[in-house]
Amino acid sequence: DGGITQSPKYLFRKEGQNVTLSCEQNLNHDAMYWYRQDPGQGLRLIYYSQIVNDFQKGDIAEGYSVSREKKESFPLTVTSAQKNPTAFYLCASSNYRVGGNQPQHFGDGTRLSIL
């Protein structure tokens, strides 16, 4: 079955450490997204990519970095510059169409906590 796989499900970060969250999709989607979800809040866009080797900042990109070397993969690195990284991180993908309006499909998330 096609879908989006995020790993690990739980991740712990030490002070001053960078950590990388994995996101892989086999839906043949062009566009991929990273969101942050805090308790009781909606989703906030961190980064998105509409094509391989290209990505754009979302609303809260500071302290995060991404790469898009393959269509199927869009890893997110939470750097030490992100001072409040504890959150639930969701990866999504969609078809890319001129004019937008495509639904996004989500992985099951990674919960990141500080040690």
Residues making contact with another protein (CB under 8 A): 4, 6, 31, 33, 40-43, 45, 48, 50, 58, 90, 92, 94, 96-97, 99-109
Nearer to another protein, 11 or 45 (CB): 45
CB of 76 to another protein, least distance (A): 14
Nearer to another protein, 16 or 40 (CB): 40
H/E/C letters for each residue in the chain?
CCCEEEECCEEEECCCCCEEEEEEECCCCCEEEEEEECCCCCEEEEEEEEECCEEEECCCCCCEEECCCECCECCEEECCCCCCCCEEEEEEEECCCCCCCCCCEECCCEEEEEC
- Look up tokens 């754009």; give the residue: 56
Nearer to another protein, 33 or 64 (CB): 33
CB of 94 to another protein, least distance (A): 7
CA 86 → CA 37, 82, 89, distances in Å? Answer: 10, 10, 9
CB of 16 to another protein, least distance (A): 28
CB of 106 to another protein, least distance (A): 4
Nearer to another protein, 82 or 104 (CB): 104
